[in-house]
């Protein structure tokens, strides 16, 4: 799955005078990987080749890791 968006940080002071903040993930576009179905008599090799072609690029993997890291506050 690929999520494109941004982080939003809200800051405020509580009634007790403490500084508070909250980070939210604002998803602008969510995209799921297509499901590959195996056909009868298919040895699976063509499906594997299609799955490799549909695999995310290195930059996309890095972007997904950064989003996951940011979401694990």
User: pLDDT for 9-19, tens place per residue?
Assistant: 999 999 999 99
Summarised one tens digit per residue, pLDDT across range 34-54 is 777 776 665 555 555 555 555
**What is the pTM (predicted TM-score) of this model?**
0.38
What is residue 29's predicted lDDT score, i.e. its pLDDT?
A: 87
- Judge contact between 9 and 22, C-beta under 8 A: yes
- Judge contact between 55 and 1, C-beta under 8 A: no
Position with higher pLDDT, 10 vs 71: 10
Is 64 a residue whose pLDDT tops 80? no
Structure tokens at 6: 């941004």
CA pseudo-torsion sign 56, 68, 65, 67: positive
What is residue 55's predicted lDDT score, i.e. its pLDDT?
A: 56
Q: Report domain extents, the chain.
A: 2-71
- Judge contact between 25 and 70, C-beta under 8 A: yes
């Amino acid at each position: 799955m690929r999520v494109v968006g941004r982080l939003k940080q809200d800051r405020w002071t509580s009634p007790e005078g403490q500084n508070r903040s909250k980070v939210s993930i604002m998803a602008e576009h969510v995209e799921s990987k297509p499901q590959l179905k195996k056909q009868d008599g298919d040895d699976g090799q063509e499906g594997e080749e299609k799955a490799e072609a549909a695999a995310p690029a290195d930059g996309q993997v890095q972007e997904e890791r950064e989003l996951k890291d940011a979401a694990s506050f």
